[in-house]
Structure 1
Protein backbone atom coordinates (compact mmCIF):
# COMPACT_ATOMS: atom_id res chain seq x y z
CA UNK A 1 0.00 0.00 0.00
CA UNK A 2 2.80 2.40 0.98
CA UNK A 3 4.81 1.50 -2.17
CA UNK A 4 1.76 2.18 -4.40
CA UNK A 5 1.35 5.67 -2.92
CA UNK A 6 5.07 6.32 -3.36
CA UNK A 7 4.87 5.23 -7.01
CA UNK A 8 1.91 7.57 -7.64
CA UNK A 9 3.77 10.43 -5.96
CA UNK A 10 6.85 9.83 -8.12
CA UNK A 11 4.76 9.83 -11.30
CA UNK A 12 3.11 13.10 -10.24
CA UNK A 13 6.47 14.77 -9.55
CA UNK A 14 7.85 13.57 -12.90
CA UNK A 15 4.75 14.86 -14.70
CA UNK A 16 4.97 18.20 -12.88
CA UNK A 17 8.66 18.68 -13.73
CA UNK A 18 8.05 17.77 -17.37
CA UNK A 19 5.18 20.26 -17.55
CA UNK A 20 7.35 23.00 -16.03
CA UNK A 21 10.15 22.32 -18.53
CA UNK A 22 7.73 22.52 -21.44
CA UNK A 23 6.26 25.77 -20.11
CA UNK A 24 9.73 27.26 -19.53
CA UNK A 25 10.96 26.25 -22.99
CA UNK A 26 7.84 27.60 -24.59
CA UNK A 27 8.12 30.92 -22.75
CA UNK A 28 11.81 31.22 -23.72
CA UNK A 29 10.97 30.65 -27.37
CA UNK A 30 8.21 33.25 -27.14
CA UNK A 31 10.66 35.79 -25.68
CA UNK A 32 13.28 35.03 -28.34
CA UNK A 33 10.78 35.30 -31.19
CA UNK A 34 9.37 38.50 -29.69
CA UNK A 35 12.85 40.01 -29.61
CA UNK A 36 13.44 39.12 -33.25
CA UNK A 37 9.99 40.45 -34.18
CA UNK A 38 10.88 43.81 -32.60
CA UNK A 39 14.18 44.05 -34.45
CA UNK A 40 14.32 47.15 -36.66
CA UNK A 41 15.85 46.58 -40.07
CA UNK A 42 18.79 48.71 -41.09
CA UNK A 43 21.52 49.26 -43.73
CA UNK A 44 23.62 46.16 -44.30
CA UNK A 45 20.97 43.64 -43.26
CA UNK A 46 20.57 40.79 -45.75
CA UNK A 47 16.94 39.77 -46.39
CA UNK A 48 15.34 36.82 -48.10
CA UNK A 49 11.95 37.97 -49.45
CA UNK A 50 9.45 35.37 -50.69
CA UNK A 51 5.99 35.92 -52.25
CA UNK A 52 3.61 32.96 -51.87
CA UNK A 53 2.76 31.30 -55.22
CA UNK A 54 5.12 33.71 -57.01
CA UNK A 55 8.59 32.07 -57.06
CA UNK A 56 9.81 34.57 -59.70
CA UNK A 57 9.55 37.30 -57.10
CA UNK A 58 11.67 35.48 -54.50
CA UNK A 59 14.70 37.63 -53.76
CA UNK A 60 17.74 37.74 -51.48
CA UNK A 61 19.05 41.26 -51.16
CA UNK A 62 20.95 43.63 -48.89
CA UNK A 63 19.50 46.87 -47.55
CA UNK A 64 21.55 49.72 -49.00
CA UNK A 65 23.21 52.53 -47.04
CA UNK A 66 20.19 54.63 -47.99
CA UNK A 67 17.99 52.07 -46.20
CA UNK A 68 16.33 50.75 -49.37
CA UNK A 69 16.03 47.54 -51.40
CA UNK A 70 15.22 47.17 -55.06
CA UNK A 71 12.26 44.80 -55.53
CA UNK A 72 10.88 43.45 -58.85
CA UNK A 73 7.88 45.34 -60.31
CA UNK A 74 7.72 48.00 -57.60
CA UNK A 75 11.31 49.34 -57.67
CA UNK A 76 13.05 50.81 -54.63
CA UNK A 77 11.38 50.33 -51.25
CA UNK A 78 12.61 51.92 -48.03
CA UNK A 79 12.72 49.30 -45.28
CA UNK A 80 15.20 50.74 -42.76
CA UNK A 81 13.71 51.56 -39.38
CA UNK A 82 10.77 49.15 -39.52
CA UNK A 83 10.31 45.54 -38.39
CA UNK A 84 10.20 42.51 -40.66
CA UNK A 85 6.42 42.30 -40.31
CA UNK A 86 6.17 45.99 -41.18
CA UNK A 87 8.33 45.42 -44.24
CA UNK A 88 6.13 42.48 -45.30
CA UNK A 89 3.01 44.65 -45.12
CA UNK A 90 4.67 47.51 -47.00
CA UNK A 91 5.77 45.32 -49.93
CA UNK A 92 2.38 43.56 -50.01
CA UNK A 93 0.53 46.91 -50.18
CA UNK A 94 2.77 48.13 -53.03
CA UNK A 95 2.32 44.92 -55.03
CA UNK A 96 -1.45 45.00 -54.59
CA UNK A 97 -1.92 48.74 -55.17
CA UNK A 98 0.16 48.47 -58.36
CA UNK A 99 -2.05 45.71 -59.62
CA UNK A 100 0.77 43.18 -59.79
CA UNK A 101 -0.37 40.54 -57.25
CA UNK A 102 -3.79 40.12 -55.65
CA UNK A 103 -3.75 39.71 -51.88
CA UNK A 104 -0.03 38.87 -51.81
CA UNK A 105 1.40 36.93 -48.88
CA UNK A 106 4.94 38.10 -48.15
CA UNK A 107 7.51 36.42 -45.91
CA UNK A 108 10.76 38.15 -44.98
CA UNK A 109 13.64 36.36 -43.25
CA UNK A 110 16.67 38.27 -41.99
CA UNK A 111 19.60 36.17 -43.24
CA UNK A 112 22.34 38.42 -41.84
CA UNK A 113 21.98 41.03 -39.10
CA UNK A 114 24.52 43.63 -40.13
CA UNK A 115 22.95 47.00 -39.34
CA UNK A 116 23.52 46.81 -35.58
CA UNK A 117 27.12 45.82 -35.03
CA UNK A 118 29.16 45.96 -31.83
CA UNK A 119 32.97 45.84 -31.75
CA UNK A 120 34.54 43.85 -28.90
CA UNK A 121 38.24 44.53 -28.26
CA UNK A 122 40.85 43.92 -25.61
CA UNK A 123 41.43 40.86 -23.44
CA UNK A 124 38.65 38.57 -24.71
CA UNK A 125 38.94 35.16 -26.36
CA UNK A 126 37.12 36.08 -29.59
CA UNK A 127 37.51 39.80 -30.34
CA UNK A 128 35.72 41.13 -33.42
CA UNK A 129 32.52 42.69 -34.72
CA UNK A 130 29.23 41.08 -33.74
CA UNK A 131 25.67 41.75 -34.95
CA UNK A 132 22.89 42.40 -32.45
CA UNK A 133 20.12 40.21 -33.79
CA UNK A 134 18.04 40.56 -30.63
CA UNK A 135 17.99 42.43 -27.32
CA UNK A 136 21.53 42.04 -25.97
CA UNK A 137 23.12 43.30 -22.78
CA UNK A 138 26.79 43.50 -21.76
CA UNK A 139 26.89 40.08 -20.08
CA UNK A 140 25.22 38.42 -23.10
CA UNK A 141 27.81 39.93 -25.43
CA UNK A 142 30.80 38.90 -23.30
CA UNK A 143 29.43 35.37 -23.12
CA UNK A 144 29.20 35.40 -26.92
CA UNK A 145 32.89 36.29 -27.26
CA UNK A 146 34.00 33.64 -24.76
CA UNK A 147 34.51 35.99 -21.83
CA UNK A 148 37.67 37.68 -20.61
CA UNK A 149 41.04 35.93 -20.97
CA UNK A 150 43.26 35.02 -18.02
CA UNK A 151 44.99 38.37 -18.48
CA UNK A 152 41.68 40.24 -18.60
CA UNK A 153 40.24 42.26 -15.77
CA UNK A 154 36.70 42.89 -14.55
CA UNK A 155 36.78 46.46 -15.85
CA UNK A 156 34.98 47.09 -19.14
CA UNK A 157 34.79 50.39 -21.00
CA UNK A 158 31.95 51.01 -23.46
CA UNK A 159 32.30 53.81 -26.00
CA UNK A 160 29.04 54.78 -27.68
CA UNK A 161 27.26 57.72 -29.23
CA UNK A 162 26.51 59.20 -25.81
CA UNK A 163 30.14 59.03 -24.66
CA UNK A 164 32.38 56.68 -22.65
CA UNK A 165 31.46 54.77 -19.51
CA UNK A 166 33.21 52.21 -17.29
CA UNK A 167 31.57 49.11 -15.78
CA UNK A 168 32.65 46.51 -13.23
CA UNK A 169 31.72 42.94 -14.17
CA UNK A 170 32.22 41.82 -10.56
CA UNK A 171 29.38 44.09 -9.46
CA UNK A 172 27.14 42.95 -12.33
CA UNK A 173 27.63 39.21 -11.79
CA UNK A 174 28.02 38.89 -8.01
CA UNK A 175 26.04 41.88 -6.76
CA UNK A 176 23.31 41.76 -9.39
CA UNK A 177 23.84 45.37 -10.40
CA UNK A 178 21.29 45.62 -13.22
CA UNK A 179 22.12 49.29 -13.79
CA UNK A 180 25.62 48.35 -14.94
CA UNK A 181 24.38 45.45 -17.10
CA UNK A 182 23.64 47.87 -19.93
CA UNK A 183 21.57 47.14 -23.01
CA UNK A 184 23.55 47.50 -26.24
CA UNK A 185 21.95 49.31 -29.16
CA UNK A 186 24.57 48.91 -31.88
CA UNK A 187 27.56 50.99 -32.86
CA UNK A 188 29.29 50.63 -29.46
CA UNK A 189 32.92 49.67 -28.87
CA UNK A 190 33.31 47.33 -25.89
CA UNK A 191 36.84 47.18 -24.49
CA UNK A 192 37.88 44.67 -21.80
CA UNK A 193 40.89 45.99 -19.91
CA UNK A 194 44.02 43.92 -19.30
CA UNK A 195 45.69 43.20 -15.99
CA UNK A 196 48.49 45.68 -16.32
CA UNK A 197 48.59 47.74 -13.14
CA UNK A 198 52.24 47.48 -12.12
CA UNK A 199 53.41 47.38 -8.51
CA UNK A 200 57.18 47.71 -8.53
CA UNK A 201 60.13 48.58 -6.31
CA UNK A 202 60.59 47.52 -2.70
CA UNK A 203 57.51 45.32 -2.32
CA UNK A 204 57.36 41.64 -1.39
CA UNK A 205 55.75 40.48 -4.65
CA UNK A 206 56.46 42.98 -7.44
CA UNK A 207 54.58 42.43 -10.71
CA UNK A 208 51.45 43.20 -12.70
CA UNK A 209 48.03 42.63 -11.19
CA UNK A 210 44.50 42.59 -12.57
CA UNK A 211 41.94 45.29 -11.97
CA UNK A 212 39.19 43.02 -10.64
CA UNK A 213 36.31 43.29 -8.23
CA UNK A 214 37.71 43.91 -4.76
CA UNK A 215 41.11 44.98 -6.14
CA UNK A 216 40.74 48.51 -7.45
CA UNK A 217 42.48 51.08 -5.24
CA UNK A 218 46.08 51.94 -4.33
CA UNK A 219 45.72 50.15 -0.98
CA UNK A 220 44.25 47.07 -2.70
CA UNK A 221 47.21 46.73 -5.07
CA UNK A 222 49.79 47.31 -2.34
CA UNK A 223 48.07 44.53 -0.39
CA UNK A 224 48.11 41.96 -3.21
CA UNK A 225 51.80 42.80 -3.79
CA UNK A 226 52.50 41.90 -0.16
CA UNK A 227 53.17 45.44 1.02
CA UNK A 228 56.52 47.17 1.31
CA UNK A 229 59.46 44.94 2.26
CA UNK A 230 61.89 45.87 5.09
CA UNK A 231 63.94 47.97 2.68
CA UNK A 232 60.91 49.82 1.38
CA UNK A 233 60.09 53.44 2.01
CA UNK A 234 57.14 54.70 4.02
CA UNK A 235 55.88 56.45 0.88
CA UNK A 236 54.93 55.22 -2.59
CA UNK A 237 54.76 57.02 -5.92
CA UNK A 238 51.50 56.47 -7.82
CA UNK A 239 51.39 57.18 -11.58
CA UNK A 240 48.03 57.36 -13.35
CA UNK A 241 47.23 57.83 -17.04
CA UNK A 242 43.88 59.46 -17.86
CA UNK A 243 43.01 60.55 -21.39
CA UNK A 244 46.67 60.61 -22.31
CA UNK A 245 47.67 62.79 -19.33
CA UNK A 246 50.20 61.47 -16.83
CA UNK A 247 49.77 62.37 -13.16
CA UNK A 248 52.12 61.44 -10.29
CA UNK A 249 51.57 61.83 -6.57
CA UNK A 250 53.03 60.52 -3.32
CA UNK A 251 51.07 58.50 -0.76
CA UNK A 252 52.00 57.78 2.84
CA UNK A 253 51.64 54.00 3.08
CA UNK A 254 51.12 53.87 6.85
CA UNK A 255 48.49 56.63 6.76
CA UNK A 256 46.79 55.02 3.77
CA UNK A 257 46.13 51.78 5.63
CA UNK A 258 45.58 53.32 9.04
CA UNK A 259 43.13 56.06 8.11
CA UNK A 260 41.93 54.93 4.65
CA UNK A 261 42.56 58.38 3.15
CA UNK A 262 40.01 58.48 0.31
CA UNK A 263 41.76 61.40 -1.37
CA UNK A 264 44.86 59.27 -1.98
CA UNK A 265 43.34 55.78 -2.07
CA UNK A 266 42.10 56.31 -5.62
CA UNK A 267 40.85 53.62 -8.04
CA UNK A 268 43.49 52.50 -10.54
CA UNK A 269 43.07 51.52 -14.18
CA UNK A 270 44.98 49.72 -16.90
CA UNK A 271 48.39 51.34 -17.42
CA UNK A 272 48.67 52.83 -13.92
CA UNK A 273 51.57 51.95 -11.63
CA UNK A 274 52.78 52.05 -8.03
CA UNK A 275 56.47 52.36 -7.14
CA UNK A 276 57.82 51.89 -3.63
CA UNK A 277 61.40 53.28 -3.48
CA UNK A 278 64.13 52.15 -1.16
CA UNK A 279 63.75 53.64 2.30
CA UNK A 280 65.94 56.66 3.18
CA UNK A 281 69.07 55.67 5.02
CA UNK A 282 71.45 57.09 7.64
CA UNK A 283 75.04 55.96 8.12
CA UNK A 284 76.89 55.43 11.39
CA UNK A 285 80.66 54.99 11.56
CA UNK A 286 83.48 55.22 14.05
CA UNK A 287 83.41 53.88 17.55
CA UNK A 288 80.04 52.06 17.47
CA UNK A 289 79.21 48.41 18.03
CA UNK A 290 77.67 47.84 14.56
CA UNK A 291 78.80 50.48 12.07
CA UNK A 292 76.97 50.62 8.73
CA UNK A 293 73.80 51.88 7.03
CA UNK A 294 70.41 51.89 8.75
CA UNK A 295 66.85 52.65 7.73
CA UNK A 296 65.81 56.17 8.62
CA UNK A 297 62.60 55.72 10.57
CA UNK A 298 60.05 58.48 10.86
CA UNK A 299 61.29 61.29 13.18
CA UNK A 300 64.39 59.29 14.12
CA UNK A 301 66.72 61.15 16.51
CA UNK A 302 70.48 60.87 16.96
CA UNK A 303 70.17 58.75 20.09
CA UNK A 304 67.71 56.39 18.36
CA UNK A 305 70.12 55.96 15.45
CA UNK A 306 72.97 55.18 17.86
CA UNK A 307 70.78 52.51 19.43
CA UNK A 308 70.34 50.96 15.96
CA UNK A 309 74.13 50.75 15.75
CA UNK A 310 74.40 49.11 19.15
CA UNK A 311 75.66 52.23 20.91
CA UNK A 312 79.23 53.50 21.29
CA UNK A 313 82.06 51.11 21.99
CA UNK A 314 84.12 51.32 25.17
CA UNK A 315 86.39 53.75 23.31
CA UNK A 316 83.53 55.87 21.96
CA UNK A 317 81.64 58.73 23.54
CA UNK A 318 78.17 60.20 23.05
CA UNK A 319 79.66 63.59 23.86
CA UNK A 320 81.99 63.48 20.88
CA UNK A 321 79.76 62.84 17.85
CA UNK A 322 79.91 64.64 14.54
CA UNK A 323 77.05 64.87 12.02
CA UNK A 324 77.93 65.20 8.33
CA UNK A 325 75.01 66.65 6.35
CA UNK A 326 74.72 67.97 2.80
CA UNK A 327 73.08 71.39 2.67
CA UNK A 328 70.84 72.83 -0.06
CA UNK A 329 73.92 73.96 -2.02
CA UNK A 330 75.36 70.46 -2.02
CA UNK A 331 78.11 71.30 0.44
CA UNK A 332 78.90 68.85 3.26
CA UNK A 333 78.64 70.51 6.65
CA UNK A 334 80.14 69.11 9.88
CA UNK A 335 77.79 69.67 12.82
CA UNK A 336 77.76 68.82 16.53
CA UNK A 337 74.24 67.49 17.10
CA UNK A 338 72.27 67.11 20.32
CA UNK A 339 71.06 63.62 21.15
CA UNK A 340 67.45 64.67 20.52
CA UNK A 341 68.07 66.26 17.11
CA UNK A 342 66.11 64.67 14.23
CA UNK A 343 68.08 63.08 11.40
CA UNK A 344 67.58 63.51 7.66
CA UNK A 345 68.09 61.22 4.70
CA UNK A 346 71.75 60.39 3.97
CA UNK A 347 73.01 61.92 7.23
CA UNK A 348 76.31 60.44 8.44
CA UNK A 349 77.03 60.11 12.15
CA UNK A 350 80.64 59.68 13.20
CA UNK A 351 81.35 58.62 16.78
CA UNK A 352 84.81 59.80 17.62
CA UNK A 353 87.21 58.10 20.01
CA UNK A 354 87.09 59.42 23.58
CA UNK A 355 90.32 61.14 24.61
CA UNK A 356 89.90 60.22 28.30
Structure 2
Protein backbone atom coordinates (compact mmCIF):
# COMPACT_ATOMS: atom_id res chain seq x y z
CA UNK A 1 0.00 0.00 0.00
CA UNK A 2 2.82 2.39 0.88
CA UNK A 3 4.62 1.67 -2.40
CA UNK A 4 1.44 2.28 -4.34
CA UNK A 5 0.95 5.73 -2.75
CA UNK A 6 4.58 6.58 -3.43
CA UNK A 7 4.22 5.54 -7.09
CA UNK A 8 1.06 7.68 -7.49
CA UNK A 9 2.89 10.60 -5.88
CA UNK A 10 5.83 10.26 -8.26
CA UNK A 11 3.50 10.20 -11.26
CA UNK A 12 1.46 13.20 -10.05
CA UNK A 13 4.47 15.35 -9.12
CA UNK A 14 5.53 16.28 -12.68
CA UNK A 15 1.91 17.06 -13.61
CA UNK A 16 1.53 19.37 -10.61
CA UNK A 17 4.61 21.27 -11.72
CA UNK A 18 2.91 22.11 -15.02
CA UNK A 19 0.52 24.60 -13.43
CA UNK A 20 1.29 28.30 -13.54
CA UNK A 21 0.14 31.56 -12.00
CA UNK A 22 -2.65 31.84 -14.56
CA UNK A 23 -4.34 28.53 -13.77
CA UNK A 24 -5.78 29.75 -10.45
CA UNK A 25 -7.41 32.85 -11.93
CA UNK A 26 -11.18 33.00 -12.40
CA UNK A 27 -12.41 32.72 -15.98
CA UNK A 28 -13.83 35.93 -17.45
CA UNK A 29 -17.42 35.87 -18.64
CA UNK A 30 -17.86 35.74 -22.41
CA UNK A 31 -20.36 38.60 -22.36
CA UNK A 32 -19.38 42.13 -21.36
CA UNK A 33 -21.30 42.68 -18.15
CA UNK A 34 -19.72 46.05 -17.41
CA UNK A 35 -21.07 49.12 -19.11
CA UNK A 36 -18.30 51.39 -20.27
CA UNK A 37 -17.25 54.17 -17.92
CA UNK A 38 -15.06 57.10 -18.85
CA UNK A 39 -11.50 57.42 -17.63
CA UNK A 40 -8.23 59.27 -18.25
CA UNK A 41 -7.17 59.13 -21.89
CA UNK A 42 -10.71 58.93 -23.30
CA UNK A 43 -12.01 61.67 -25.55
CA UNK A 44 -15.68 62.64 -25.49
CA UNK A 45 -17.70 64.55 -28.05
CA UNK A 46 -20.26 66.85 -26.43
CA UNK A 47 -23.14 68.69 -28.07
CA UNK A 48 -25.67 70.89 -26.29
CA UNK A 49 -28.73 71.81 -28.31
CA UNK A 50 -28.95 75.61 -28.57
CA UNK A 51 -25.60 76.15 -26.81
CA UNK A 52 -23.00 75.82 -29.57
CA UNK A 53 -20.24 77.31 -27.42
CA UNK A 54 -19.90 74.00 -25.60
CA UNK A 55 -19.88 71.71 -28.64
CA UNK A 56 -16.60 69.89 -29.28
CA UNK A 57 -14.29 67.04 -28.33
CA UNK A 58 -12.75 67.00 -24.87
CA UNK A 59 -9.90 64.83 -23.56
CA UNK A 60 -10.36 63.33 -20.10
CA UNK A 61 -7.37 64.45 -18.02
CA UNK A 62 -5.27 62.23 -15.75
CA UNK A 63 -7.38 63.61 -12.88
CA UNK A 64 -10.54 62.28 -14.59
CA UNK A 65 -11.92 65.70 -15.50
CA UNK A 66 -12.70 67.77 -18.58
CA UNK A 67 -12.70 71.57 -18.88
CA UNK A 68 -15.81 73.04 -20.45
CA UNK A 69 -16.60 76.65 -21.35
CA UNK A 70 -18.94 78.26 -18.80
CA UNK A 71 -18.82 75.19 -16.53
CA UNK A 72 -15.07 75.06 -15.79
CA UNK A 73 -13.80 71.65 -14.61
CA UNK A 74 -16.25 68.74 -14.57
CA UNK A 75 -15.59 65.32 -12.99
CA UNK A 76 -16.24 62.58 -15.58
CA UNK A 77 -14.17 59.55 -14.49
CA UNK A 78 -16.32 56.57 -13.57
CA UNK A 79 -19.41 57.92 -15.35
CA UNK A 80 -21.04 56.40 -18.41
CA UNK A 81 -21.94 58.65 -21.36
CA UNK A 82 -25.64 58.76 -20.34
CA UNK A 83 -24.69 59.63 -16.75
CA UNK A 84 -22.46 62.45 -17.99
CA UNK A 85 -25.31 63.74 -20.19
CA UNK A 86 -27.52 63.97 -17.10
CA UNK A 87 -24.81 65.64 -15.00
CA UNK A 88 -24.07 68.27 -17.64
CA UNK A 89 -27.77 69.02 -18.20
CA UNK A 90 -28.24 69.44 -14.43
CA UNK A 91 -25.21 71.77 -14.21
CA UNK A 92 -26.47 73.89 -17.10
CA UNK A 93 -29.90 74.18 -15.47
CA UNK A 94 -28.44 74.92 -12.02
CA UNK A 95 -26.35 77.79 -13.39
CA UNK A 96 -29.24 79.10 -15.52
CA UNK A 97 -27.17 78.73 -18.69
CA UNK A 98 -29.60 76.48 -20.54
CA UNK A 99 -32.81 75.80 -18.61
CA UNK A 100 -34.06 73.23 -21.17
CA UNK A 101 -30.66 71.72 -21.92
CA UNK A 102 -30.55 68.73 -24.23
CA UNK A 103 -27.06 67.23 -23.95
CA UNK A 104 -25.49 64.54 -26.13
CA UNK A 105 -22.26 62.77 -25.12
CA UNK A 106 -20.44 60.21 -27.27
CA UNK A 107 -17.10 58.54 -26.68
CA UNK A 108 -14.98 59.98 -29.48
CA UNK A 109 -11.80 58.03 -28.75
CA UNK A 110 -11.24 55.23 -26.25
CA UNK A 111 -8.12 54.81 -24.14
CA UNK A 112 -5.75 52.15 -25.53
CA UNK A 113 -5.32 48.55 -24.44
CA UNK A 114 -1.94 46.87 -23.87
CA UNK A 115 -0.84 43.37 -24.81
CA UNK A 116 2.31 41.70 -23.45
CA UNK A 117 4.00 38.34 -23.56
CA UNK A 118 3.97 35.83 -26.37
CA UNK A 119 2.57 37.89 -29.27
CA UNK A 120 4.50 39.01 -32.36
CA UNK A 121 4.32 42.74 -31.56
CA UNK A 122 3.62 43.46 -27.88
CA UNK A 123 2.65 47.03 -27.08
CA UNK A 124 -0.09 49.64 -26.86
CA UNK A 125 -2.93 49.61 -29.39
CA UNK A 126 -6.07 51.61 -30.11
CA UNK A 127 -9.23 50.06 -28.70
CA UNK A 128 -12.07 49.15 -31.06
CA UNK A 129 -15.58 48.65 -29.61
CA UNK A 130 -16.63 44.99 -29.53
CA UNK A 131 -13.03 43.77 -29.27
CA UNK A 132 -12.34 40.22 -28.05
CA UNK A 133 -9.12 38.51 -26.96
CA UNK A 134 -8.73 36.98 -30.42
CA UNK A 135 -9.10 40.41 -32.06
CA UNK A 136 -6.50 41.90 -29.71
CA UNK A 137 -4.01 39.10 -30.44
CA UNK A 138 -4.60 39.59 -34.19
CA UNK A 139 -3.93 43.33 -33.89
CA UNK A 140 -0.65 42.48 -32.13
CA UNK A 141 0.46 40.31 -35.06
CA UNK A 142 -0.72 36.94 -33.75
CA UNK A 143 0.77 34.45 -31.30
CA UNK A 144 4.47 33.55 -31.23
CA UNK A 145 5.36 29.87 -31.63
CA UNK A 146 5.99 29.72 -27.85
CA UNK A 147 2.57 31.12 -26.87
CA UNK A 148 0.14 29.21 -24.72
CA UNK A 149 -2.91 29.69 -26.95
CA UNK A 150 -5.22 28.23 -24.31
CA UNK A 151 -4.38 30.74 -21.60
CA UNK A 152 -4.35 34.52 -21.25
CA UNK A 153 -4.80 36.92 -18.37
CA UNK A 154 -6.12 40.45 -18.22
CA UNK A 155 -5.47 43.13 -15.65
CA UNK A 156 -8.59 45.26 -15.80
CA UNK A 157 -9.04 48.55 -14.03
CA UNK A 158 -12.68 49.05 -13.04
CA UNK A 159 -12.91 52.40 -11.31
CA UNK A 160 -10.70 51.94 -8.27
CA UNK A 161 -10.25 48.16 -8.30
CA UNK A 162 -8.14 45.96 -10.54
CA UNK A 163 -8.79 42.35 -11.27
CA UNK A 164 -6.83 39.62 -13.02
CA UNK A 165 -8.84 36.93 -14.83
CA UNK A 166 -8.24 34.15 -17.35
CA UNK A 167 -9.65 34.79 -20.79
CA UNK A 168 -11.35 32.65 -23.42
CA UNK A 169 -10.80 33.63 -27.10
CA UNK A 170 -14.22 35.32 -27.23
CA UNK A 171 -13.77 37.21 -23.94
CA UNK A 172 -14.42 40.93 -24.29
CA UNK A 173 -11.52 43.35 -24.00
CA UNK A 174 -12.09 46.81 -22.54
CA UNK A 175 -10.16 50.07 -22.96
CA UNK A 176 -7.25 50.25 -20.53
CA UNK A 177 -6.92 46.45 -20.21
CA UNK A 178 -3.46 44.92 -19.99
CA UNK A 179 -3.44 41.45 -21.56
CA UNK A 180 -0.67 38.94 -20.88
CA UNK A 181 -0.16 35.90 -23.11
CA UNK A 182 2.02 33.36 -21.25
CA UNK A 183 4.62 31.02 -22.69
CA UNK A 184 3.64 27.39 -23.23
CA UNK A 185 5.89 24.91 -21.48
CA UNK A 186 4.90 21.78 -23.38
Q: State the TM-score, normalizing by the size of structure 1.
A: 0.35
Question: Would the aligned equivalents of 1:39 and 1:133 in 2 still touch at CA under 8 Å?
Answer: no
Q: Which of 139, 143, 153 is the matching residue for 1:144?
A: 139
* Equivalent runs, 1:55-70 vs 2, <5 Å: 55-70=52-67
Q: Which has the larger radius of gyration?
A: 1
- Cα deviation code 1:233-292 (max 9, x no counterpart): xxxxxxxxxxxxxxxxxxxxxxxxxxxxxxxxxxx36xxxxxxxxxxxxxxxxxxxxxxx
Q: Distance in 2 between matches of 1:182 and 1:188?
A: 13
Q: Which of 132, 147, 168 is the matching residue for 1:153?
A: 147
Shift of 1:87: 0.7
Q: Which of 29, 37, 43 is the matching residue for 2:40?
A: 43
Higher relative contact order (CA 8 A, sep 6+): 2
Check 1:83–1:133 CA distance in 2 against 1; reply closer, same or farther (3 A cut): farther
> Residue in 2 aligned with 1:24?
none
Q: Which of 88, 91, 105 is the matching residue for 2:88?
A: 91
Q: Distance in 2 between matches of 1:166 and 1:52?
A: 44
Shift of 1:124: 2.8
Check 1:158–1:104 CA distance in 2 against 1; reply closer, same or farther (3 A cut): same
Q: Which of 115, 122, 135 is the matching residue for 1:127?
A: 122
Q: Distance in 1 between matches of 2:50 and 2:128?
A: 29
SS at match of 1:69: strand
> Residue in 2 aligned with 1:189?
179
Contiguous gaps of at least 5 residues in structure 2: 1-31, 156-161
Check 1:183–1:59 CA distance in 2 against 1; reply closer, same or farther (3 A cut): closer
- CA RMSD in angstroms, aligned pairs only: 3.0
Q: State the TM-score, normalizing by the size of structure 2.
A: 0.63
Shift of 1:110: 1.6
Q: Which of 89, 97, 102 is the matching residue for 2:99?
A: 102
Shift of 1:129: 1.4
Q: Which of 107, 113, 126 is the matching residue for 1:118?
A: 113
Shift of 1:95: 0.6
- Cα deviation code 1:182-230 (max 9, x no counterpart): 444544232353xxxxxxxxxxxxxxxxx4xxxxxxxxxxxxxxxxxxx
Check 1:60–1:166 CA distance in 2 against 1; reply closer, same or farther (3 A cut): closer
Q: Distance in 2 between matches of 1:78 and 1:138?
A: 31
User: Which one has the bigger strand percentage?
Assistant: 1
Shift of 1:166: 6.7
Q: Distance in 1 between matches of 2:67 and 2:166?
A: 42
Contiguous gaps of at least 5 residues in structure 1: 1-34, 174-180, 194-210, 212-267, 270-356
Question: Would the aligned equivalents of 2:116 and 2:178 in 1 still touch at CA under 8 Å?
Answer: no
